[in-house]
Structure 1
C-alpha cells in the first residue's frame, strides 16, 4: 500500500493538501493512520466533493485514480465481449463464404442479396476489429483507470462503432429482403417486398445521418467529456431508444414479409411452417 504522502504528491494541484487535509482534519483519524483514512467513507466522500468543486474532469479522474489505488480499489474490467465477438464474426464469415461457394458450385448467379450480405459482413468485421483495438486502450475498464490521454481516442472509436453498427444492420436487413425477392420472384407479394426494402433504407438513412451528425461540431462527440469544449449533441437517451425500438419493430415485419408467399406454396402445413422457421432464423 502506497504511503499517504506519496499519494498526495501525485495528486493534481487542485486536489492537493487542501481537500485531503480538510477531509482528514474533519474526521477522527490521525493524519498518519493510513488504514483509518483509507477505510473511512466520510473522508473519501468529503475529499471527493471538494475535488469535484475545485478540479476539471481530467484532474478529477487523475485524483480518483491516485486515491483509489492506495485504498485497494481496483477498476472494474470487462473484456469478455472480445472472444464472443471474434467467435461470432468468424462463424458469420464462414457462413457467408459457404453461401458464395454454393452459388459458384451450383452455377447460381451472384445477385444483389449477395452483394448486400458481403458488404454487411465487411462492416461487421470492421466493427469487430475496431472493438478489439479499443480494448487495448482501455475499453471496458472504469474510466478513472484509463489514462486521460486515451479517453478521447476511446470515445472517437465508440463514435465509429455506432456508425458501423447502424450501417451493418441496414445492409443485413437489405440482404434478407433481397433474398426474399430472389426466391419469390414470381410471387404476388414481390411488390410488398420491394416496398419493405425501400422502407428499410428510409429508416436507415436518417439513423445513419444522425449517428454521423449527432453533435455540432462532429468532434464534440468525443471531446465533450472533459468539459473544456463547447458544442451540442442530440439527446443520447432518446436517440438510443428510438434506434432500438423502431428497428426492432421493423425486424419483426421483415420476418413476416415472406409469410403470404409461403402460405401460397403447394405444400403441407408442416412444410410451410418449417420453411417459415428456416427464413426466420436465417438458415436459408
Structure 2
C-alpha cells in the first residue's frame, strides 16, 4: 500500500490535480451532533435525579453515562486525531508522519465505536427490562443482553488483533514492513449486518408485548410510535453499511474512509438521542403540559388508575405503626402531576399494581415514559 500511495503522489504532482478537502464539514457535523447529544443526556440525568418519582438513576442510565463518557473523547479524536491528520483529504497530499498518525487514531476509533454500539444497545435493553414485568419477556431480554455483550466483546477483540503485529495496521500506509491483517473489510460487513439484525430484534420485543395488551387502539398506536422512534438508529446502521465498501480496501484511506467515519459518528449520536427521547417527552410535558400532554386518559382509565392508587394508599396505611391524623406521605406524590405521562407521580409500583384488579388497564405507553 505504501508503494501505491507513492505512485499516486507522483501522478498528482505530474497532472497538477486540485487538492480536495472535506475535513471542515465533517468537524462541523461531529461537533454539532455531540453538543445536541450531550444536552439531551444531561437533561435526562438531571430529570431522573431531581424530578423523577424514584429520584435515582437506573441501570439503563448507568450505561448511558458510560456511553457519553466514551463518546465525548471520540468527538475530540475525530477533530484532533483524524481530520487534523488527513481525514477528508487525499492521502498523497499528506506527509508520512500525518498518515501514520491518522492510522493510529482510526484504529482506536474502530474499537471505541464497537464499544459504544454495545453499551447503547445494553442501555435500551435495561430500559425495556424496567418496564416489562412478564417472566417470559424478561428472560428474552436477559438472553438478548448476553448475546449483545458477547457479540460486542468478540468483535472488539477481533478489531484489536486484526493485524499482526498490531502496528502493521498504521505502518502499512507509510512503509513496507513484515506483517499481515485479517479480512478487515469482511469483519466490518459481518458486524454491521449482525448489529442491524439485533436492532430489528430489539424493536420487535416491545412491539410484540404491545400487541398482547388489552388497550384501546389509540393507546397501542401511541406506544408503537414511541418504540419505533428507536428504528431510526436502525436505518442509520443500514445506511452505514454502504460506507464499508472502501473500509480497509483503498489506497486512499483518508479520503475514501470519510463516509465510514461520518456514518459511524451519526449512528452513535442518534442511538444516544433515541435512548433519551422518553425522558425528553416527560420534560416537555412538565414545561408545556397543554402542548405535549395531549394524550389523555379516558374516564375508564382514570377510574382504573384511581382504584390502583387507592389500593396502594391503603397498603401504605396498613404499614403504619401508629394511628394519627396526618396525611399519608405518598399522597403528595400521587397528586403532584396532572398530565398523562407523569406516571412516576401517579401510578403505583408494579408490586402495588399486582394487588389491584385493574392493573392491566394502566397504559404501557405511559409506563414507558415514566422510567
Alignment TM-score > 0.5, same fold: yes
1:128 and 2:75 matched = yes
CA separation in 1, counterparts of 2:6 and 2:213? Answer: 68
For residue 163 of structure 1, report the CA deviation from its aligned partner.
Answer: 0.7
1:82 and 2:27 matched = yes
Q: Is the 8 A contact 2:207 2:227 kept in 1?
A: no
For residue 61 of structure 1, report the CA deviation from its aligned partner.
Answer: 5.6
What residue in structure 2 maps to residue 101 of structure 1? 46
CA separation in 1, counterparts of 2:44 and 2:6? Answer: 53
For residue 67 of structure 1, report the CA deviation from its aligned partner.
Answer: 3.1
Please show how residues 158-197 of structure 1 align to structure 2 within 5 Å.
158-186=106-134, 188-197=136-145
1:277 and 2:225 matched = yes
Q: Decide which of 189, 201, 210 is 1:253's aligned counterpart.
A: 201
TM-score (norm 1): 0.74
Q: Decide which of 114, 118, 130 is 2:65's aligned counterpart.
A: 118
Aligned residues: 228
CA separation in 2, counterparts of 1:189 and 1:58? Answer: 54
Q: Decide which of 91, 94, 98 is 1:150's aligned counterpart.
A: 98
CA separation in 1, counterparts of 2:133 and 2:20? Answer: 53
Q: Decide which of 220, 230, 254 is 2:178's aligned counterpart.
A: 230
Task: Encode CA deviations 1:178-237: one digit per residue, 9 max, x unaligned.
Answer: 000011135641111111111111211111111111111111111112342111111122
RMSD: 2.1
Q: Is the 8 A contact 1:64 1:144 kept in 2?
A: no
Q: Is the 8 A contact 1:189 1:260 kept in 2?
A: no
Q: Is the 8 A contact 1:187 1:261 kept in 2?
A: no
Task: Point out where structure 2 has 5 or more consecutive residues left out of the alignment.
Answer: 230-273, 279-371
Quick check: which has more Rg, 1 or 2? 1
What residue in structure 2 maps to residue 92 of structure 1? 37
CA separation in 1, counterparts of 2:175 and 2:4? Answer: 7
For residue 274 of structure 1, report the CA deviation from its aligned partner.
Answer: 1.8
Structure 1 SS opposite 2:173: helix
CA separation in 2, counterparts of 1:188 and 1:145? Answer: 58
Q: Is the 8 A contact 1:217 1:231 kept in 2?
A: yes
TM-score (norm 2): 0.58
CA separation in 2, counterparts of 1:139 and 1:126? Answer: 17
Q: Is the 8 A contact 2:5 2:91 kept in 1?
A: no
CA separation in 2, counterparts of 1:74 and 1:278? Answer: 48
For residue 101 of structure 1, report the CA deviation from its aligned partner.
Answer: 1.1
CA separation in 1, counterparts of 2:18 and 2:186? Answer: 33
What residue in structure 2 maps to residue 21 of structure 1? none
For residue 260 of structure 1, report the CA deviation from its aligned partner.
Answer: 2.8
Q: Is the 8 A contact 1:127 1:161 kept in 2?
A: yes
